[in-house]
Amino acid sequence: MLTRIDHIGIACFDVEETAGFYARTYGFEVAHTEVNEEQGVREAMLRVNGTDDGGATWLQLLEPVREDSAVGKWLAKNGEGVHHIAFGTADVDADSEEIGEKGVRVLYDEPRRGSMDSRITFLHPKDCHGVLTELVTAAGSSSRADH
C-alpha cells in the first residue's frame, strides 16, 4: 500500500547552488548527499518532515553526472524543474507487481538501490498521465528486512 509521498525529485544543473536556494528561502537543510552511478545523478536529500513508517518526506535535488542519464536527457529537453514524484510503501515488490498487473509499465524487473539504501522502481510516465512515478521502500522499513 502506498502510504505517503516519499519525495519529489527536482532536476537541476547544480545541486549545491539549488540547495542554497532551498535553505535560504524555506529553511530546508541538506540531510544527505550521494552520487548514484547507476542512475547517473549527484543528489541531495532535504528533509521536509518525518513519518512513523520508517520513512519521511523529502525534496530530492538531482544533478546529472552524465549527459546521457535519465536526468541529463530530461534537463537538456526541459530545463530545471520537477522530474518525478515518489510514493512511499513498506513493500515496493508487492506494490509494483500489483500496479503492473493493472497495465502500467514498471521499468525494472526487480527494485534497484535508491537514495539512502532505499529500494526503488519507476512507472513509465506515458502510463501515468505524463508523471514519472517512483515507488520507494525506505531502508529500515518493515518489509526491507526480508531482502
Residues annotated as catalytic are: 7, 43, 60, 84, 134
The residues with which 35 forms a beta bridge, in sequence order, are 42
Q: Which of 68, 69, 59, 75 is nearest to 115 (CA)?
A: 59
The number of beta carbons lying within 10 Å of the beta carbon of residue 27 is 8
Please, which residue, 2 or 107, has the CB nearer to ligand MC0? 107
Q: Which of 130, 84, 135, 83 is nearest to 106 (CA)?
A: 135
54 touches 138 (CB < 8 A): yes
Return the residue matching grid coordinates 545523478. 41
The least CB distance from residue 62 to ligand MC0, in Å, is: 6
Nearest residue to ligand MC0 on Cβ basis: 114
The least CB distance from residue 80 to ligand MC0, in Å, is: 12
Say whether residue 130 binds ligand MC0 (CB under 6 A).
yes
The least CB distance from residue 54 to ligand MC0, in Å, is: 15
Q: Residues in the site for ligand MC0, rule: CB under 6 A? A: 9, 36, 39, 41, 43, 60, 62, 70-71, 73-74, 83-84, 86, 107, 114-115, 118, 120, 122, 124-126, 130, 132, 134
